[in-house]
Copies of this chain bind each other. A is one copy, B any other.
Amino acid sequence: MVVAGAKVEPQPANDFSPALDALLEVLGNKVVMSRAVREQHANITTYLPNEPADAVVFAECTEDVQATLAVCRAHGMPVIPYGTGTSLEGHVNAPRGGVCLDLSRMNRILAIHADDLDCIIEPGVTRKRLNEDLRDQGLFFPIDPGADASLGGMVSTRASGTNAVRYGTMKDNVFALKVVLPNGELITTSRRSRKTSAGYDLTRLFIGAEGTLGVITEITLKLYGIPEAITAGVCPFPTIGDACNAVIATIQSGIPVARIELLDEMQVRASNAYAKLGLPETPHLFLEFHGTAMGAREQAERFAEIAADNSGGPFTWAEQPEDRTRLWQARHDAYWSVLPLKPGAKAVATDVCVPLSRLADCVMETKRDIEEMGLLAPIVGHVGDGNFHTTLMVDVDDPADMAKAKLFMSRMVDRALAMDGTCTGEHGVGQGKMKYLAAEHGEATLEAMRTLKRAFDPQNIMNPGKIVAV
């Protein structure tokens, strides 16, 4: 594993010694500088080199965040906000050194307003913990990116996941944020009302900003009542194309499906082995329907008809909670399940998203590319949104293997862009996808993004080297 640290930029590694001394003075034992902790807080989820910060600050309150930023401002030292480190594109790397600001100790649930279907939390709360706390009030927060990510991180990467087809992404489920700006000011982006037209949408400005514009210290989330009935099931298809066409027809027909996930035959094989699912090894859709008992059943029945029209089926119900849990656990474990496919290799996940009408083409062309390039890469996807992932099994220490993987990923992005899609539906830009933004957005749009970045962070201390990397 390459440890680049501060060496990427032409500045001596000890540039920040006075800044780190100041940090220790202000934050004492909340500052940790051991190599192990620093490396564990840099990118550990992809092929990208691990670039640790010079120190990790474990913030416990907003004042700690402000104190950290004050030191960073005074010394021009980078600060990289950190939740659980489960992002996939090197978002938490420190290519220019500086401070990793770990917010996991800011994990209080400050208020649950059951009557208003909202809650106020600190950014370090993870989605599983939140849903455990909500359950006895009959409420849940639907956004589910798979990993037990922190909500602050989910806001910052505009996360979505399996439920997004029905409940939207993070951008649709945050009412307000408290954010410490690079200048030290603590702002509140909005009120707790469900709608507002009172000025610029600062909330959405910070959702997906990947910590490059400020540090989120409080989040007001939209909640939902746990549906009266939840019906889940699986449905095999002879080909990926048939499965995709069934997805398109389902969405077009207005069935409010809560989850509609594609697993290609290679993923089904891996999940069968890992989770003992016993499914026929052909492409599958995993589905979930929410509603009244009657409504959820009606949705499932309509889907089954659509599946049959597209050569799929039979749709097999999993109405018992434990069967449902096993199913979605298997889906969430897709990442782990593929590791035995190529022992010693690392799983490199990448995602694109295209308009629904191009989904079947994009998935099938990608699959052909996988085969023609001799790669091992199961496909899974939140296909109701046109969003899918490949999980490349790569020997990251083998330059030839890595070069082939990188070529494949850039071809996958080119393909999605040519279909009016995006280089990332939900993983974010981080470091890994910066190179695609010019092709996706054009120079004028990138310059508008840089304008935003410069306006809020003129010193370029907030997670520098990510997104537009001014």
Contact = CB atoms under 8 A, between A and B. Distances in A.
Nearest to A352: B193
7 tightest A-B contacts by CB? A455-B455, A204-B204, A115-B357, A196-B422, A185-B444, A193-B353, A116-B355
A199 B455 contact: no
A428 interface: yes
Contact of A158 (B164, B191, B201, B447): B201
A54 B113 CA distance: 50
Contacts of A429: 197-199
B445 A187 contact: yes
A147 interface: no
Interface string A415-448: 0110011111111110001001100111011111
Query: How many identical subunits does the complex contain?
Result: 2
A157 B254 contact: no
Contacts of A207: 201
A289 to B, nearest CB: 12
Interface stretch (A33-41, A222-230, A315-323, A342-350): A222-230
A177 to B, nearest CB: 11
Contact of A353 (B113, B168, B196, B447): B196
Given A192-B355, A192-B420, A444-B185, A198 B455 contact: no
13 contacts: A114-B252, A116-B356, A159-B197, A160-B195, A187-B445, A188-B442, A189-B445, A195-B422, A195-B426, A198-B423, A202-B448, A448-B456, A452-B452
A451 to B, nearest CB: 5
Contact of A196 (B424, B445, B446, B448): B424
Given A202-B448, A448-B202, A356 B195 contact: no
Interface string A144-166: 00000000000001111000100
Contacts of A200: 205, 208-209, 449, 452-453, 467-468
Contacts of A209: 200
Interface string A105-118: 00000000111111
Contact of A194 (B196, B353, B467): B353
Contacts of A113: 355, 357
Interface of A: 113-118, 157-160, 164, 168-169, 171-172, 181, 185-202, 204-205, 207-209, 224-225, 227-228, 248, 251-254, 256, 291-292, 294-295, 298, 302, 353-357, 385-387, 416-417, 420-429, 433, 436-437, 440-442, 444-449, 451-456, 467-468
A171 B201 contact: yes
Contact of A204 (B171, B416, B436): B171
B187 A386 contact: no
Contacts of A417: 191
Given A187-B445, A195-B422, 17 more contacts: A117-B251, A117-B252, A117-B356, A158-B201, A181-B444, A187-B448, A194-B355, A195-B353, A197-B425, A197-B428, A197-B429, A198-B424, A198-B436, A199-B437, A200-B453, A202-B445, A451-B456
Nearest to A169: B195
A451 B185 CA distance: 13
B197 A208 contact: yes
